[in-house]
Amino acid sequence: MGHIRAFSEIGRGDVETAGGKGANLGELTRGGLPVPPGFVVTTDAYRAFVDATGIGPRVLELATPPPGSTATDGDVDRSADAIRALFRAEIPAAIADEIRAAHRMLGDGPVAVRSSATAEDLEGASFAGQQDTFLDVRGDEALLSPPSAPAGPRCGRRAPWPTARGTASHPPTSRSRSSCSAWSTPTRRV
């Protein structure tokens, strides 16, 4: 599965492929901590989705404030809503098939879906609260349908703006990098 990696296959060195949250879940899994089984939809899947749908230039345009402007909350809300709408496009069949196969490996129970980014959960940067988590996602169709679909960012309203501006170590790019993790949800706490 080229666009999917199990938690057991990733770790701290895989932030560029798995996103910060996914890499950390992999690191915890590999360390033997009680992490429910799961997988990451990689940044390659995100790029393939963006390329297949042709939305990259529009996402970048919407996520980049005009030079010298001061964005209002209304500006941020409108841009975030427009970007989310672009990601409601159909996931390419090959990627959807890989997600379904990985989901089947987790069994029939509900899963949690968490969006992530490559500039998230780093030693020198935090973007807490900008990504979304969906709990109790049941079945392939729910997993592949917005808002829980893991092909693009399912992010809080402010996430598109810092992504476009970039950080010192992650400059802005039209090929933004996002990933998503899905894991089985235990029926009781461990």
CB atoms within 10 A of CB 162: 17
Tell me how far apart the alpha carbons of residues 127 and 105 are, in angstroms, rounded to a whole number. 31
- Mean pLDDT, rounded, for 107-136: 73
Output the pTM of the full model: 0.75
Q: What is the pLDDT of residue 171?
A: 35
Higher pLDDT, 126 or 37: 37
Average pLDDT of the chain to the nearest whole number: 76
Phi then psi for 170, rounded to 5 degrees? -135, 85
Instruction: Delimit the domains of the chain by residue range.
Output: 4-184
Tell me how far apart the alpha carbons of residues 28 and 31 are, in angstroms, rounded to a whole number. 5
Q: What is the pLDDT of residue 135?
A: 85
Cβ-in-10-Å burial (0-12, 13-18, 19+) of 186 comes to exposed
Give 4-184's CATH code, choosing from 3.30.1490.20, 3.40.50.150, 3.60.20.30, 1.10.10.10: 3.30.1490.20
Q: Could you report the per-residue pLDDT of 45-89, keeping only the tens digit for each?
A: 988 999 999 999 998 888 887 788 777 878 888 888 888 888 888
Q: How confident is the model at residue 116 (pLDDT cuts 50, 70, 90)?
A: confident
DSSP-based three-state secondary structure for 64: coil
Contact (Cβ atoms closer than 8 angstroms) between residue 74 and residue 37: no
Which of 20-24, 112-116, 125-129 tops mean pLDDT?
20-24
Q: How confident is the model at residue 11 (pLDDT cuts 50, 70, 90)?
A: very high
Is a pLDDT exceeding 80 seen at residue 24? Answer: yes
Tell me how far apart the alpha carbons of residues 10 and 21 are, in angstroms, rounded to a whole number. 11
The string of DSSP codes covering 113-176 is EEEEETTSSBTTB--TTSB-EEEEE-SHHHHHSTTT-TTS--B-TTTHHHHHH--SSS---SS-
